[in-house]
Each structure stands twice: as structure tokens, then as C-alpha cells.
Amino acid sequence: MSASVFLVAYLASLGLTAVSGLLFLAHRVPLRYIRVHANLFAIPFVIAVASLSMAAGHAHMGPWATTRLGWVFAVYVTLLALVVEKFSVRYLLGSAAYRKYFLVLTIVLDVLAELWLVNDLRWLVVGWTAAVVGLSLLQRLTTRGRDAVVASRETLVMLGVGIAALIAVALWLHAATHTWSLTAAFWLLTHAHLPLGSSFVFDGLLVAAAIAPAAQWPFARWLLDSVAAPTPVSAVMHAGFVNMGGILLARFSPAFHNGWAVWLLFAVAVLSILRGAGVALVHADYKRQLIGSTMAQMGFMLLQCAIGAYTAAIIHLILHGFFKSTLFLQSGSAVTKPLAKSGSKAMAVDSDKPESSHLLAFTFAALGGAAFGVIYVALTGLHSDRILSAALLAWSVTLALRQIVTAAGQTSMRVIALGLTAAVLAVFMLVQVGITDLLHGGVSSAGLHPGAQVMTAVFLGVAVASTFALALVRRFAPAVAARLYLWLVWLGEPSRAVFVAVRAPAAELAPQSSYRPSQQVRERRVNVHDVV
């Protein structure tokens, strides 16, 4: 079937969801209609899946052009939209901004779902700006108090820098190639060898546009201050929005090759990995742990882009998006529960074991993780991008095995947990192969950037040195370890503007609502069972 048919059907289905959101904004429409609206995202999801398997060739229609990369992210975003919309039906029921929330959320998800099928630089800038403004508006609609206003404003300001950089990139590329078409511009740069002028400045602007939404240093503050956002909004941020930087670099990979800009991206990514991992390790707040994890994971994704492993970066951000959205949507289960009775057989870490037992467990886990890393490299090949992926896989397996081995429980449960870990790793390998095949021809295959081997060696050296240095400091310099701990806690705290807003007098925290009192009463009288 023609790719043009799928493109028209896909865009029409996204338009249907937007019209449905506008319809739900009318108060004459019953609240129970929201169940129909939430399920509408199943239509573009099915169309996107069908296009990946049955579409013949590529389609160019107006500002849109189909690519394998665009359809893969269409599938990813529409599935995320379907899950988040259905989750929000009950989660935000009773909110004064219930109807407005679904309209804005639908528009943001529609923009993200079609953004990477855009082939026009002007439309790319417009869509990028609409997603940022919509995300900021979602924070204001769903969170009460001045802290929401401050966090929303900070999101606009910091991400506005990324928008300005993207506008500069678009104008620069148009001035060099005299076309607004991304496909034509990249073809001219590759085959006609048109000069871009100062490639370091151009690629530096591209780096700025990418690291701002990815919450990398020095733009991480907007994501840290968004911790008060409701769970579904956080899921959209961490699974759909922060990925935009990596996708942008993959889309612009034919023009991103300046050595100094690549090293700049590498340095920012490594700093962000260290900062994000530190914040995730020291904070007790579950959402802040997830935010720190997102910063580190996005840093690793940009590190893969820096060495030129765009396919590995795309696979990483898709898997991370599904993983992180699941954690956010299940964050309510992290609420502290009463401690189990002494006779409980729960899998809890036994802190009464001697230190030698914990050392033996860590040694076993490290050997198991290293073994999985070596197997991965043996199956996929000895390349810089594979070594990075193997290092991340080995570290993840080490942590999982350590938790399993040191858990206080029956031996049979440990065996089952080990079997599940092996099964998950096998599924991971299959998913990676499947996504790689789907992305074939849709991502730049020019090879790794010059210096990729050096970057890989530097990163692994920094990671190993940081791990051993932290262990030595905790062992022999507890005062320094305490200072480091407090510094990492401070890095993960909200900015002073948000902190002051939270402490503002209660009278100043009253939300400004456009609802009339009679409308609020009618909305809250609706039986919950009519909706859910």
C-alpha cells in the first residue's frame, strides 16, 4: 500500500483526537465522554504500526515526509499517548482544570507524534515551540500554587534558549542551502559539498538545541523544579519530551560532524551523567530519584550521539522512555507502607550480614555483570558504541544480581529471580535487533565520529575512577563523604525561586480559575462511576 495513504490516514487520525479534545472542552459534553476520547489514540497507533510493516516507499506531502525513524517514533509516541490519556481519566478526576488539561495534553501529544515526520525547517521550529509552550501550560493547569507558576516560567525560559538555538540552526541551514526542506538540505550538504561557514558555531547551536530539552547541564534546573507536576505530566516529560534532543541530533546527523562540537557534547553528557547519577543515589524523594535517573540516562544517550552511534541512542531512548513512564505511572506504589512483621518472607536486604558476605555478593554480581557484557560484545561486535552499551548492560546486571543475592529470602525465590533476569536480558537482545531492523535506512550510517574510541576510553576511565574514588572516600574520609553527600542533595533540590514560592503565605497561593462557582459545583456533583 502507498506510503501516502498511510500518511494521510495518520495525520487525519491525529486531527480527530485534537477535534475530540476541543469537543470535550464544552461543558455540555458529559464527563463520561473522556473514555471515548482517551481511546481515540488507538487509531493513529494502529496506523503507524501498519505503515512500518506494509507501507511501500516514502511519501512527500506538503511539509511532511515519511521516514523509518519518523514512523518508529510515531508508534512510540502514540502508544505513550494512549496509556497516559487512559491513566489521566481517573487520576485527575475532580480537578478544576480537568477539561482544559485533556485538551492541552492531546495537543502536546499530537505535536510530538507528528514532529519527526516533518520535513520543513519552519514547521519543525513551530512544532518544537508548541510542544514547549504546551508542556509549560500543563504545569500551570495541574499544579496549584505559585510554585507551579515559577516552575512553568522557568521551563519556558530555559527551553526558550533551546528554541532560539533551533531557530538559528534553521536560518543558518536555509542560508547555506537555499531550501527549507530537510531532505534537500542534507542532500546538498552531502553531495554538493556546500559550505556551512563556521561549522563549529552551527554544530554548537545544534548541541544547545539538543541539551536543553534533555535536561543536561546547564539546563537541568527546569526538570528538577518540575517535580511537583502530576504523575501523567511527569510521564510525558520523561518519556516523550526529554527524548527530543537525541532525536534532533539523529535527524541532523548528516550535518553534525565538527570535532570540537562533538567533544563539547561529550563533555556536557559526561558531566550530566555524573550529576544525575549522584542525585538519584542520595535523594529519598522517589520522584527526584527518577529525575536524577532521567538526567543520567539522557546524558548517556547524548554520549552515544557524540560518538556517532545514533541507532544505539535511538534504541536507548525508546527503551528508557517505556521504562521511565512505567515507573512514573506506578510511583504511587512507592508510598511508604508499615514494616512487615518479623516473620515476613519479603525480599528485603539483610543488613545484619557481615561485611565479608556483602563483599562476596558484590564480587559475584560484578563477575556476572562482566560476563553478560562480554557475551553482548561477542554477539554484536567489538565497536565503540557496542562497548558503551555493554558497559551499561554489565552495570545494570551487576546491580540486579547484587540485590538478588543479598536479599533475605528463600533460595528458590533467588533462583526464580535469576531466571527472570536472564529472560529479561534475552528479550532485550531481541528488542534491540528488532528496532535496529526497523531503523535500517532511517538513521545516518556514515559510521562513528573521529575520536569515538578515545571518547569511549575516557568515559569508561571516568566511570571506573569515580566508582573507586567514591568507595575510598566513604571508607577513609567520612567527613569528605558527608560533604559530597550534602552537595549532591543540594544539587537535586528545587531552585530558590521555587522554594520561596512554596513558603509564600497561604493567601497568595489561591489558584486563579476561570470557572464560575456554579460550574465547579456542577462538575463535582458528577458521579465518579459515570466517568470511570
**Residue owning grid cell 530539552:** 213
Residue 297: domain span:
121-330+446-453
| Contacting residues for 318 by C-beta, under 8 A, at least 6 apart | 72, 76, 435
Asked, for residue 266, whether it belongs to a domain, the answer is yes
**151 part of a folded domain:** yes
Chain CA centroid to CA 351, Å: 34
As a whole number of angstroms, the distance between CA 17 and CA 368 comes to 48
Mean predicted confidence (pLDDT) in 254-272: 87
Identify which of 291, 301, 201 has the alpha carbon closest to the alpha carbon of residue 249: 301
The CA distance from 118 to 364, in Å, is: 49
Q: Where does 26-67 have alpha helices with state H?
A: 34-39, 42-54
**Helices and strands in the chain: count of H runs, count of E runs:** 23, 4
The answer to which of 198-202, 305-309, 502-506 has the lowest mean pLDDT is 502-506
Query: Which pLDDT tens digit goes with each residue over 178-217?
Result: 888 888 888 888 777 767 767 888 888 999 999 988 888 8
- Predicted pLDDT of residue 250: 86
In the block, residue with C-alpha cell 526464580: 416
For strands 64-65 and 60-61, give the pairing. Answer: antiparallel
pLDDT over threshold 90, residue 511: no
At 357-397, the pLDDT tens digits run: 556 666 767 777 777 777 777 766 666 667 777 777 777 77
Q: How far apart are CA 27 and CA 452, in angstroms?
A: 57
Give domain status of residue 230, yes or no.
yes
* Other beta carbons less than 10 A from residue 264's beta carbon: 18
CA distance 399 to 418: 12
Cα–Cα separations (whole angstroms), residue 154 to 105, 108, 224, 271, 520: 19, 18, 11, 22, 30
> What pLDDT score was predicted for residue 107?
92
Position 274 in a domain: yes
pLDDT of residue 407: 61
- Under the banding of pLDDT at 50, 70 and 90, the label for residue 519 is very low
* CB-CB contact of 317 with 247 (8 Å): yes
Report the domain count for the chain: 1
**Three-state SS letters, 287-309:** HHHHHHHHHHHHHHHHHHHHHCC
Q: Helices 3-25 and 42-54: crossing angle, nearest 10°?
A: 170
Residue with cell 515476613: 344
The DSSP secondary-structure symbol of 192 reads I
Report pLDDT for 522. 46
3-state secondary structure of 382: coil
* Residues forming a β-bridge with 181: 120
pTM of the full structure: 0.79
CA dist 11 and 64 (Å) reads 10
Cell of 119: 520535513
Cis peptide before 450 (omega within 30 of 0): no
Give the integer Cα–Cα distance in Å for 215 and 211. 6
Residue 156 domain-assigned?
A: yes
**Any idea which of 64-68, 72-76, 396-400, 521-525 has the lowest mean pLDDT?**
521-525
pLDDT at 516 over 50: no
Most confident range (mean pLDDT) of 28-32, 121-125, 482-486 is: 121-125
Q: What integer pLDDT is reported at residue 384 of this predicted model? A: 63
Mean pLDDT (the chain, rounded): 77
**49-58, 249-258, 335-344: the lowest-pLDDT one:** 335-344
Domain contains 385: no
Helix/strand/coil percent split, the chain, to 5:
75, 0, 20
Examine residue 223 and state whether it is found in any structural domain, yes or no.
yes
Q: What is the mean pLDDT of residues 98-113?
A: 90
Contact present, 306 and 455 (Cβ < 8 Å): yes
| Contact by Cβ (8 Å): 294, 303 | no
